Each structure stands twice: as C-alpha cells, then as structure tokens.
Structure 1
Amino acid sequence: MATGNPGFESLRPMLAPRSLAVIGASEEPTRIGGRPVQSMIRQGFAGELWPVNPKRDRVQGIPAYPGIDALPGVPDAAVVAVPGALAEQAVEALGRRGCRAAIVFTAGFAELGEEGQAAQESLVATARRHGMRLLGPNCLGLFNAPLGYYPIFTSAFDSGWPLEAPAGRGRVGIASQSGAYGTHLFAAARNRGIATPILITTGNEAEVTLGDAIGHLAGDDGVEVIACYSEGVREGPRFLAALEAARRARKPVVMMKVGRSALGASAARSHTASIAGDDAVTGAVLAEFGVHRARDTEELLDVAYAATPRIYPVRNSLGVVSISGGAGVMISDVAEEQGLPMPPMPEAAQDRLRALVPFSNPANPVDCTAQVFNDMSMVGAFARSMVEDGGYASLIAFFTSVGGSPALAPRLRAELNGVKQDHPDRLWVLSVLASPEGVRDYEADGYLVFPDPSRAVAALAAQGRFGEAFARPPRAPVPLPAVSLPATAPDEAEAKRLLAAAGIAPVPEATAASAEEAVEAARSICFPVVMKLLSPDILHKSEVGGVLLNIADEEAVRAGHATLMANAARNAPGARITGVLVARQVLGAVEVALGITRDPVFGPVAMVGLGGVFIEVLRDVALRRCPVDVAEAEAMIRSLRGFPVLDGARGRPKADIPALARALSALSAFAAAAGERLVSVDLNPVLVLPEGEGAFAADAVIEIG
C-alpha cells in the first residue's frame, strides 16, 4: 500500500501496522474488546497481535499481557477499548512507549456536551504531546482487509467478509464519520458484489478527520474509488486538500452528505459533534472538486459500482439499444434530467439498420424490436452500429428477462461480447433480469448490470462528470487586492468606496450632508436620481422609508431630503445618520445580486443570483469558494436557471455578462483578501446594462465582525 500524498501518509501506522495492541481485549468474541481480536485471528492478521488484559494470561487462545508496559515491543498502533478516564491513561501510557497511532473506541466525549468536550481536548493533547495520530474517540474502528487487519467492533462480518475485486475492476475505499453507517455501506456493497478493501470510521474526529481518511485513500494504490458518509466537515483546509488529492489521482469520490434540513443538521451536531456548516455551501464545494453527492445509499452504491471499470468519459454521451420502445422513452427522460446527451444516430446508419429491420426505430434509443427472438445476430449488428457509427461513450442495452433466459442469454451474450471486445474503452451497461450467477457472468465479461435502467442512466451521467473534473486544471491563483477594513461597519457610501478600490464600480453617485448639497449632487449626476439614507446602522433602508426613486428636479430633491430625515427620525430613531446618497437612476438594466458570506468551515463564499425579490423567492443562486477568476465567475452566472433573463430572453437586449463576471471575480478577491473580520457583503441590486455598457453596484452593505 503506497501513500503518495504528503500530509496524509502519517496514517500509515494506523492503517498498516506491523504490530497492534488491543487495550481492554476480551475473551468473549462478541464484546467490544473481543471482536477485533477474533476477527484478526480468523482473517490472519499479517502483523503481531498483543491483547492487553490484566486478568488473563491468554485471550482467545493467544498470549495476553497485563499492561502496556509489559508488551514485548513498541506497538505501531493500538486499539483503546476501556471506559472513561482509563482511555486517556491508556493513550498516555502508549505514548510513553512510542506508539504512533491509537484507535479509540471509548465513548462519552464531545458528543455529550461541554464536560465531554473538555475531556476530549485533554485526550487529544495527550496524543499530540507524544506525536500520536488518534482515531475517534467514539469510533467503531477500521479495517484493511488485504492485511487481515480488523481493529473494529461490528457484527457486519457475521454475514461475510470484504470481497476481493475481479481483475480489472476498481476497489472502493470507504470513509465514514458514522461507524454504524460506515459498516452498513460496507455490508450493502459486499452484498452487491463490490470489493471494499478498506473502511475508516472517524467518530468524533478529535484528531483524525474525514479529510485525513479521504486523503489517505486518495494515495492508496489499493483503492480506485472512494465512498464517503459525512454529517459535517470539521477541518476545511484538510478536507479540501483531500478532495484535490483524489481529483488529481483520478479517483472518483461519491459522498452521502446528510444534514440538508435544519432538523438533520441538528441531529448531525448531536451525533458527531461536527460543524455542519451551510448545506448549500458544502454542496458547492463538493461540486467544485467533482464529488458526486448521493441522496441515499442506493445511489451511492450505484455510482461507486459504475466507477469500478475506471472509465470516465470527458465528453459523455449515451446510446441505447433496446427491445422495448417504452424503456427507451423512460431512459431518454432520465438522461435529459441528468444532462446526459443522447444525440441521434447518423442518418446513413439509420438507413442501414432499417434495411435490416424495416419496422425498427434506429434513431436513439435504437429499438431493434422483438425480431431478436428470431435472429439474435440483429443484436450484434445494432450494437456495433451504435458504437462505431454513433460513437457513444456510454451504452445501455435493455434486454430485460431475455438476458436471464437460459435459452436466449448465451446467444445474446456472445453477440454483445463480439462488439464489446472490439471497444473496451466504452462504458457498457446491461439492463437485464437474471439470476445472481447470470449477473456475475455478465460482470465477468466487463458489463455493469442494472435491473433498473433509470438508475443506470444516473450512474453513467456521474461518470462523465468525474471525467470532466479530472480533466480540469487546478484552480489558477487569483490576484488579491490590498484591503484595509474600517474598525466598524461602513455606511453605503464608504462601502462602495472600499469596493470600488477593489474593482467593483458603483453607479454614479455623491454624498450630501444637507438639502442644498443634495441639489448640487443631483445637478452634476443628471436627473432622474435616487435618494437614500446613509447610515451604518440601517441594513434595509427601504423598510424604514429610506429610499426614494424617480426624483426628477431640484424641488423634488429638497422635498426628498426632508422626507428621508423625517422617516429616519420616525422609523429608526436610534440610528446614526451620516447624510444622504444621491445616485443616478439607471434604466434598462437587469437586477442581479452579488454577495459574500463567511462559512464557518470553508471561509468566504461568493454568491450570484437574480436580484430584487427573485433571490428570496426563487432561491436561484450559484455559490463558490473565494476567490474565483473571471472565467469561473462567468460559469457561475451561466449556471443560473434564470440566466436567459440576462441572455436576451423574449427580445430583451443581452446583458453585459463579461462586466458582471469581472465584478463577481473582483468581489470574491476582495473577500479573500479582507480576512476573517469580514462577515458578509451584500450587493443587491447590481445593475447590469446591455452588452458593452457595464455593471454597477446600486447598493452595498458590508458587515464586519
């Protein structure tokens, strides 16, 4: 097992030790301290196994030792399966001996509240003082099956051990914050025939995090696919480095990240003491690195299983050959939902296939009809044409129970194999209903087998997204401006000055301390103008009557100034009023919202969405970690469901999208440079004029912590 990622190789003694001590080893194999011993005896652990039990000379038939000081050598790693304060005493004693890794089963730490958190911090301090890596506490453990290494207590092995991968098929490593759910994934994968050589469960993540586990798997030559269960990301930089390591290693990451709902996020905090963060931000971060976020266990296993051939088309497309027109329609519907292209076959190829079966539909899906019952060679002819003429990267052959028929399946298999062997670079799915033995035969030929073709489509679409992520170059550095935040939150005018220095243009405007100064400002700007209260204490000026539109002449400016002062006195009597802002009223623009929020895990995050009420009603926004370059900013804008509004829908002029992208990129760089005192930025609206005319911030709120 190789670990080629600097920073993650320190888990090697924990994952592949030459010797393991089990503190609290039990003679009873069903107890927490007994299961690891039993499993490693049964599976032939390749290293030295040293049970520690002060009451026994032997545990489960092998020599035991009364204490850590009595061990015959320094263990590379140790399981700690003793209760309460004894756990920290064990870690201290192991550290003194020079042990490099501890796997702490013991519960009763941060998951129980403040007192438990203090005990956990003390435990970690002890481990770090001795240079030990610590998994847990409150964790189920891990396994590394090729080494017969099972420092884990689980009943999942009662029904079977991890499988070995068939030749040419990828092996799936599992990283899970939940021990019980991690072993559930293992057992479900095993029952489906998926090889899972390594499982790491992280528990409370007091020291080793999910990011550490993913990073280690990214560098492990015995793993090609990574499956994860997460309740919350605890250490952002480590997690990001791990995802990038997996991307560069071309290892797909499939993650079930729970806690989407407020109730789910609360449950995650109480379960693992993790920081759930904002779910939408987490989703954006996973997408940035090409991680597939699965909604449930079935989808996670589908996508991981489809990744095991290790074929990830950068330009994915789907061809379908079927004996059922209805199945073809269903597949087409799912492909459209998934964004998986299904281009039609070339006209010349369609003509050749019609010549073979005149009543077939050879467009795509290609319906070869029930004619195959009379002449199975039609299957090979249609499939070969789809590959060689259609050029599809992914293919689904829907043959339902025909694929499981003892009379028909051998001929079907032979026809398809003749095509597949000539084109091993394609992703092939058979959607058939066959016996377990029949499915294994098809899989041995290199096919993915799905009884439900709609699930197959979703899994194939994910492989194309993996390919696109692997092909993307790493993020290029974005130049950052010099930013010096004021001591307290600025008013709108000062906020715009800060942002203008970073490259975000405001609408033409001027501040005024009196009615006459407001008149002078309006003259210089040109009517009509907008007038707004200036106050660092009022975030939503419209709610206190602090915004006036369509001010058309000097008298209206004087009257507007009086109105604004009166509204402030009446509706915000405690607010500091620093003056009035007079700004050009821009017409013919599309309103867009740009913003920054500081995520507790991933730091500043940039946001773009349609402005005004749409952002709250439609929730149509795109998010990315800061900073983003102009190209990525434009990609965010184009990803909005409402993008057609900017792109000239219903005869409107096209908006200045490049100017908006430059503003978004500049805002993200401002946020990255500003540091942790910057809590948020809200630019709503940004007025985007027609092509070539620019984008201007009409309002700005900067919140400082």
Structure 2
Amino acid sequence: MDALPYAEPSPGLPLDALSALLAPRSVAVIGASGDASRIGGRPIAAMLERGYQGRILPVNPNRPEIQGLRAYASIAELPEAPDAAIIAVPAASAEQATRELAERGTKAAIMFTAGFAELGEAGAEAQARLLEIARRHGMRLLGPNSLGLFNTANGFYGTFTSSLERGYPNSGPIGIASQSGAYGMHLFSMARDEGMGISCSVTTGNEADLNVGDLIGWMAQDPGTEVIAAYSEGIRDAGSFLAALDLARRNRKPVVMMKVGRSEVGSAAARSHTASIAGDDAVTDAVLAEFGVVRARTTEELLDVARLAVRKVYPAGNTLGVLTVSGGAGVLISDAAEAAGLPMPPMPEDAQAVLRRDLPFCAPANPVDCTAQVLNDLSLVTRFGHSLIRDGGYGSILLFFTHAGGAPSITPRLREELRGLRAAYPDRLLVLSVLADPPQIREFEEDGFTVFADPSRAVAAIHAMGRFGDAFAADRPAPPPALPGFGLPATTPSEAEAKRILARAGIEAAPERACARADEAVAAAEALGFPVVLKILSPDILHKSEIGGVLLGVSDAAAVRDGFALLLQRAASAAPDARIEGVLVAKQLSGGVECILGVHRDPVFGPVAMFGLGGIFVEVLKDVSFRRCPFGEPEAEAMIRSIRGAPLLLGARGRPVADVPALARMLSRLSVFAHQAGPRLAGIDLNPVFAMPEGQGAFAADAVIDIAEDAA
C-alpha cells in the first residue's frame, strides 16, 4: 500500500453517508428472535426499552409476531426498504440475506454473523463476495463479525452486547470506535460504570467495508460527539484513517487511541483475529503523533484522557502548577510530570516571597505546598490558587487534597473556595485529586473539576490535554519541496549509482570516484586528497563492512594499490558470484557528527523516514525518530531535535554545532524522493551521513537504494 499522497486531505465520509447506519429511520432484523437473551432478540429488546423512534421490522419465517411487533417471513415481504438492517443469521445464509437487502435498496447493514476472513482463506473469499454485493448496490457494510453499535441520541441499539444488562449509557459527548467488538463494549462498560457520557459506540469487526477510520471521520463531524476514543488492532485503510485524524484535528475533536499489537506476539494475534496488518509500532507512534492523537497504553489511561478531554480545555504550550497539602505527593507528582515530559517551572521569586509572607512555613516553588494549615484556613486555597494561575501562568493546575478533601467537615467549605477559583479562570485546566465518596465526587465534577484519586493518573491526563492543544494550535505543514522527476533502475544499484540517483534529488555525497583499475584509484585518491576511503563496488554486496569491504584511512598511493587488490580478493572469497564493478575511492571526512538517515516501506503507511545518530545510538540505544513521507524542512528539523542524542548536534559540552539546516534539508529531500519513487522502492540507507560543523553541509558517506523485486 502506498502512502497517502501529499495534498489537502480528503474530508472523509460525508456526515450523511453513515446516517443510515447510526441514525436509521427504519431497521430490519434478519434472524429476529422473540427471546430477548438471544443474539437476534437483544437489539429488538434494547430498542424497545430505550424508545427507538424508528420502525423495527423483524424478519423470521416461523413467527408472525416478535416481542410485540409484527414479523415478516422474508426480506421480500418487508413493507419498505429499511434504512438499515441487522443480519443475525448463520454464515451459510448471510450472503443471500445481504444480496436481498442490497437489491431492496437497504443503505447499511450491520452483520453480527461471524465465520469469514477471521477463519482463513475460504472465509476471506466469502467475505469478499459480501463486499462485492454491497458495493454493487451502494450499501455500506459494518462487519462481518461485528458486535454492532448504539447511538444514544436516537435510542438506536443495533447490538447484541450483554453489557447492557448491567445498565444503559448516559448520553454524553464521548464516541467510541473499536475494531474489537468485545473489547469495544468493555470500554463502554467501564466508561458507563464511571458515569461517563457516551454519544455512540461502534464496533467494526472484520472491516470488510467500514473501518475504524471511517467511524472516526463520522464522529469528527457529528455535533453530538466532542471526544473520540478508539481501539484498533490493525489499520486496514491508511487513506481513510489519516483523513479522519486530520479532520478530527481540524474540527478540534481530540482523539485518544489504543493501538494494540505492539509486541511480536501481540501483532501475530491481531493478524489471526482480524486478518489485518498491525504494521510497525514505532511507525504507528509517529503517525499518531503527527496528527495530535494521544496513544493510550492502558484502558485506564484511555478513559482518563477521554474523561478529562470532555472539559474542552486544551492548553497549548502546557505547563503544570501544583497546589498540595502533602510534600510527599508533590514529589510524586513532580516525578510523574518529568517522566511524561510535562514542564513544571518554578513560581516567580516575587510571588514566592508573597506566599511565604502569607504562610511562612509553606514551600512556594512548585509544587506549592500549603501544608495541613489549609484545613484551619481554607481561604489559603483561593489565595494560593490565584497566585499559581495569575503569577505562575500555568496552563494546568493540579490541586491535591487527598482524603481531607472528602471529609464531611471540610468538603462544603472547600467546594466554595474552589468554585470561586473555577469561575475566575474558565480558560485554565483545573484538576482535583481527592479521596471522597461518590456523591461528593459528583458534586466536585458538577462544579467543573475532573476528579482523580491517583495524582499520577491525573498528570498523564493533563499532559494529554496539552498535546491536544499543541496539535489544535499548530499551523498546517507547508508542502514539502518539489523535486524533478526520476526513474528507478530495474534492480538494486551499486553504491555509486545510488549516489548518482540521489544527487538528482539534491542529496549530496562525500566527493568520490568509481574506479575499475588500481591506477585509476591512485589517480582518484591523489585528486581527492589523502586520506581516502576504499570500498568494494558491487550492486550485489550492499553490506560491505560485513565482508571487510571497506578500508579507512588509506594514506598514500602504495596503500591505495594494496587496498584495491585486497578488496577484490575479499569480495571474490566472500561473494564469488557477485558482480564487481571495481572500487569506490572517497574523500575521508572528519570533524562531523555521524548520523543515519533512512527510509523503509511500512506495509500500512507506505514510505517512512528515519533519523538517528550513528554507531551505538542507533544499533544499541535505538535512539531514532520516524515520520511518514513526504515532509518539509521544518518537520525534518523537528525530527532531528526530537532524539535524545540531539545535544551532540547542538553544541553540547563544547562540541561544534553541526549544520542542522543542511541535515534537515537532506532528510526532507530524502522523504520526497521516497514518496515519488513509488512502491518499487523497498528502502534507503544513508549510513553514515556526516553532519559537518555549522555552515559546512551534510554529506552521505554511504548509500543503499533497495529495489523491491516483486513490486508491481
């Protein structure tokens, strides 16, 4: 699959394209049951109980009446073409039901039926037939192997989940899109148990047609959905997924996502379960970050982020101020903030002095510890809180009152002080950490404070709000640079040819010459200036150092002759069938920082660029950054600065500052080259690249362009 072309993103599915699925005026239930505990009976019972205003049309050849509703013997006997249909029949009957519904003009079908692509090749072929039928008639298909959906706005419950037996959701602004049915309803159940308000929940199953990206795109346009929580095992359609994330960002709809399949075992399980491709996890991280999506590692984190996002306060350039009654909690919060990368700058010195005059034994830096004295004088909450926001200027404030905040003797007065603070600063994110009974927590929430028992969880959620704010505030990236057209060779080229190809994209290499004879090599070395590097030149030997095919520090003509012969001998011994074009003589660079630039073709998102420092940093520490191709120089420089080892390029410990602009220019051009090259390009390695001192450029000392032999 190729990457999404660089252009104004598609707006995604129009809002009305899925209205028949999520807000149908009529729904047929194929395989309807009078037993409310059976799969074909549960959605009917739920819709009747929740007051669905549309028409429910049960289809069952053996029953004239189902759950008090007239039943129809067949799809052909339905009095109208339903907007949507629920297919709850065995796999052997599902294809016929799909065909009959599509021919009647049904706009959307929810297929509960399993036994398709998740079971192997035969199932995949049967699923493909379902899709072909649906597309031929313009019918959208959710599933197969879907647990269905619900929409609280209209009481439509096209699902057979047993989770509803424990209670229906409160209507609210959080939408859930999940590839997994059981886990999607697990998320809903946890959210319901925590009192969170849900707008809709959709499970996509095998994603023969509609996928998680499509549903995120619909929720990004739905007025009733303000926060989107998603769960995915594998991204099936990169185009719709990326367009949906872009649309959500432009509409200021935060997306928090669990993308599982991080481990090798987990990735294999995802393929087995949904016949999807998990892709490379580091690439997934980079793509989600590109669109401002917060990736949750746990269900708890996903719900925490969604719950706080409902407040709709997303501070760009977020900083955290802390008011605490416990010094120990302040340390814990500070550790959590540092681990998350959430800045906690100290209060201004003059503000600290005022706080000390107010309470001499306080700790006023940040965290601001007003000690247990606050229990005697709750007005300290207001005075210290005002100072944190007004003088500290923090985007977010975490107020830690532990069990004291839930004490009946304290809670009413504390609420009064906090309400004044909330009213004075509606644009600030104010989060409360207290231990209290559920009724008291509801009161704090009604006052505008999201409550966390664990302050570390609060910090993680607060950090996420800042990431949303940064994404919403960011300008759209400028188009990447335009490059002239070029063609790739039929097969993987030699190093010299790879460098000639890349030179047309403006990617500079160290000065070098390809030499077929030893005399040519000596002349080349003398022209370039000693010392030089000698490398065996062969399109069949890409990893030259592994066979001893690279000689460094060759310092005179005699050494060049000897080295030339030695390289040919080593190549003949290690790779007797390799085509040998000669030896590459290159100027040996010094004084620069070794880096690695590369591209690999991700099976989901297409070409993805990588940047890192050379040597141990990439091989052992894996200190690298990724970004989907193509991108411009500002994004390239952000990649470079994002790695942990970036200070080595920026003048740490008296080192010369590297030519980061030249490095960013090379990385950006590499990304455009990879994007334009198409699917025949399997990968590129530039290793090492020497980032020379400021103003002196960046040069590739080695280059590999890997051509995919089996690409179309």
TM-score interval for Structure 1 and Structure 2 normalised by the shorter chain: over 0.9
1:135 aligns with 2:142: yes
Alpha-carbon distance between aligned partners in 1 of 2:64 and 2:228, rounded to the nearest angstrom: 41
* CA-to-aligned-CA distance 1:303-362 (integer Å, 9 cap, x gap): 111101001011211111111111111111111111212122222222222222111112
* CA-to-aligned-CA distance 1:517-570 (integer Å, 9 cap, x gap): 111111111111111111111111011121111111111111111101110111
Cross-structure match for 1:61: 68
Alpha-carbon distance between aligned partners in 2 of 1:487 and 1:385, rounded to the nearest angstrom: 68
Cross-structure match for 2:518: 515
Cross-structure match for 1:168: none
1:661 aligns with 2:658: no
Contact 1:530/1:548 (<8 A) preserved:
yes
Amino acid at match of 2:658: A
Alpha-carbon distance between aligned partners in 1 of 2:533 and 2:56, rounded to the nearest angstrom: 78
Contact 2:13/2:217 (<8 A) preserved:
no
TM-score of the superposition, structure 1-length normalised?
0.98
Contact 1:626/1:672 (<8 A) preserved:
yes
Cross-structure match for 1:335: 337
Contact 2:84/2:107 (<8 A) preserved:
yes
Amino acid at match of 1:211: G
Contact 1:525/1:584 (<8 A) preserved:
yes
Alpha-carbon distance between aligned partners in 2 of 1:357 and 1:488, rounded to the nearest angstrom: 75
* CA-to-aligned-CA distance 1:392-442 (integer Å, 9 cap, x gap): 221111111111111111111111111211111111111101100000000
1:26 aligns with 2:33: yes
Cross-structure match for 1:703: 706
* Secondary structure of 2:688's aligned partner: strand
| CA shift in 2, pair 1:252/1:512, >3 Å | same
- How many Å apart are 1:651 and its aligned residue? 2.0
* CA-to-aligned-CA distance 1:657-695 (integer Å, 9 cap, x gap): 111111000100100111111110000000111111111
Cross-structure match for 1:687: 690
Contact 2:337/2:459 (<8 A) preserved:
yes
Alpha-carbon distance between aligned partners in 2 of 1:228 and 1:472, rounded to the nearest angstrom: 23
Structure 2 spans left out of the alignment, 5+ residues: 1-9
| CA shift in 2, pair 1:9/1:480, >3 Å | farther
Cross-structure match for 2:538: 535
| CA shift in 2, pair 1:664/1:533, >3 Å | same
Contact 2:480/2:633 (<8 A) preserved:
no
Contact 1:4/1:220 (<8 A) preserved:
no
1:147 aligns with 2:134: no
Tell me which of 2, 9, 17 is aligned to 1:10: 17
* CA-to-aligned-CA distance 1:3-35 (integer Å, 9 cap, x gap): 985546411111111000000011111111111
Amino acid at match of 2:500: R
Amino acid at match of 1:90: A
Alpha-carbon distance between aligned partners in 1 of 2:295 and 2:439, rounded to the nearest angstrom: 31
1:236 aligns with 2:243: no
Amino acid at match of 1:679: A
Tell me which of 67, 81, 86 is aligned to 1:79: 86
1:498 aligns with 2:505: no
Alpha-carbon distance between aligned partners in 2 of 1:21 and 1:373, rounded to the nearest angstrom: 61
Tell me which of 595, 598, 603 is aligned to 2:598: 595
Higher RCO by CA contacts (8 Å cutoff, separation 6 or greater): 2
- How many Å apart are 1:579 and its aligned residue? 1.4
| CA shift in 2, pair 1:599/1:5, >3 Å | closer
Contact 1:14/1:101 (<8 A) preserved:
yes
Cross-structure match for 2:7: none
Alpha-carbon distance between aligned partners in 1 of 2:386 and 2:663, rounded to the nearest angstrom: 48
Map 1:246-257; keep pairs closer than 5 Å: 246-257=248-259
Alpha-carbon distance between aligned partners in 1 of 2:12 and 2:666, rounded to the nearest angstrom: 36
Alpha-carbon distance between aligned partners in 2 of 1:496 and 1:278, rounded to the nearest angstrom: 28
Alpha-carbon distance between aligned partners in 1 of 2:239 and 2:15, rounded to the nearest angstrom: 13
Alpha-carbon distance between aligned partners in 2 of 1:570 and 1:8, rounded to the nearest angstrom: 65
Q: Supply the RMSD in Å over aligned alpha carbons.
A: 1.2
Tell me which of 450, 457, 460 is aligned to 1:458: 460
1:314 aligns with 2:298: no
* Secondary structure of 1:434's aligned partner: coil
- How many Å apart are 1:620 and its aligned residue? 0.7
* CA-to-aligned-CA distance 1:83-142 (integer Å, 9 cap, x gap): 112111001000110001011111110001111111110110011111110000011001
Map 1:557-576; keep pairs closer than 5 Å: 557-576=560-579
Cross-structure match for 2:447: 445
* Secondary structure of 1:321's aligned partner: strand
Alpha-carbon distance between aligned partners in 1 of 2:535 and 2:286, rounded to the nearest angstrom: 35
Cross-structure match for 2:4: none
Contact 2:492/2:705 (<8 A) preserved:
yes
Tell me which of 225, 228, 252 is aligned to 2:227: 225
Work out the percentage of aligned pairs sharing the same amino acid: 62
1:643 aligns with 2:646: yes
Alpha-carbon distance between aligned partners in 1 of 2:265 and 2:113, rounded to the nearest angstrom: 27
Contact 2:686/2:702 (<8 A) preserved:
yes
1:421 aligns with 2:423: yes
Amino acid at match of 1:66: A
Amino acid at match of 2:648: V
1:118 aligns with 2:120: no
Contact 1:480/1:670 (<8 A) preserved:
no
* CA-to-aligned-CA distance 1:275-328 (integer Å, 9 cap, x gap): 111111111000000100001000001111110100101121111111111111
TM-score of the superposition, structure 2-length normalised?
0.97
1:675 aligns with 2:678: yes
* Secondary structure of 2:241's aligned partner: helix
Structure 1 spans left out of the alignment, 5+ residues: 166-170
* Secondary structure of 1:549's aligned partner: strand
Alpha-carbon distance between aligned partners in 2 of 1:367 and 1:682, rounded to the nearest angstrom: 52
Amino acid at match of 2:653: R
Alpha-carbon distance between aligned partners in 1 of 2:529 and 2:355, rounded to the nearest angstrom: 70
* CA-to-aligned-CA distance 1:618-674 (integer Å, 9 cap, x gap): 111100010110111000000011111111223221111111111000100100111
Cross-structure match for 1:278: 280
1:586 aligns with 2:589: yes
Alpha-carbon distance between aligned partners in 2 of 1:6 and 1:476, rounded to the nearest angstrom: 25
The aligned length equals 698
- How many Å apart are 1:264 and its aligned residue? 0.2
- How many Å apart are 1:613 and its aligned residue? 4.0
| CA shift in 2, pair 1:503/1:9, >3 Å | farther
Contact 2:11/2:244 (<8 A) preserved:
no
Contact 2:494/2:542 (<8 A) preserved:
no
